[in-house]
Amino acid sequence: MESASLKIQKAYLASGCFWGTQYHLNKMFGVSATYVGYMGGNLDNPSYPQVKTGTTGHVETVEVLFDTEEVSYEQILKLYFETHDFTQIGGQGPDIGSQYRSVIFYSNEEQKTTAENLIELLTRMGNKVATSLEPASTFWKAEDYHQHYYDKNGDSPYCHIYKKIFK
């Protein structure tokens, strides 16, 4: 019998401001938790003021914990692509800078292959995909006031509008 911990996997996704990415992914069936934070940089335990300068190499990232018996990694990636402009280079909407890049941080070869296949599909659909694939590194959880920002403040994402792409 499979243990419960094997059913829970993590995805690390960056698509501009992490508030909007978290807002959409947190509502997905099969997602048990989401956290906003920073990944990919060269500074241990970075703070928001440091990351927002764009000089640390970190990207605003969402850690997604999901139950593989309820939702697949591919389904999570499809929602990810449908909630940001994956063709924009160097930011997302009005958020410009390397810290707002579109990045899929993969944790294993299966995740990498799934992401490559979806990027290839999007390309065949006529899109110029700016999303990069990078190996996951240490995820540094952001400050508490960033966690579930839109839910706490009663707002909705300003640069993460859902747009159906996949059938």
Q: Tell me the pLDDT tens digit for each residue of 63-76.
A: 999 999 999 999 99
pTM score, two decimals?
0.93
67: exposed, middle or buried (Cβ count in 10 Å: 0-12, 13-18, 19+): middle
Question: Which SS3 state, helix, strand or coil, does residue 13 take?
Answer: strand
Structure confidence by residue, pLDDT tens digits, 100-121: 999 999 999 999 999 999 999 9
Q: What is the pLDDT of residue 159?
A: 74
Question: Which SS3 state, helix, strand or coil, does residue 148 take?
Answer: coil
Q: What is the pLDDT of residue 2?
A: 46
Give catalytic residue positions.
17
Report phi then psi at 95, rounded to 5. -90, 105
Q: What is the pLDDT of residue 5?
A: 57
Alpha-carbon span 132 to 48, nearest angstrom? 22
Report phi then psi at 150, rounded to 5. -65, -35
Is residue 33's pLDDT more than 50? Answer: yes
Q: What is the pLDDT of residue 75?
A: 98
Number of neighbours of residue 32 by Cβ within 10 angstroms: 13
Is residue 161's pLDDT more than 80? Answer: yes
Query: Per-residue pLDDT averaged across 51-55, rounded?
Result: 95
- Please list the helix, strand and coil fractions of the chain in percent, rounded to the nearest 5, in that order: 30, 25, 45
- CATH 3.30.1060.10 is held by the domain 8-153: yes
Whether 22 and 157 have beta carbons less than 8 Å apart is answered as no
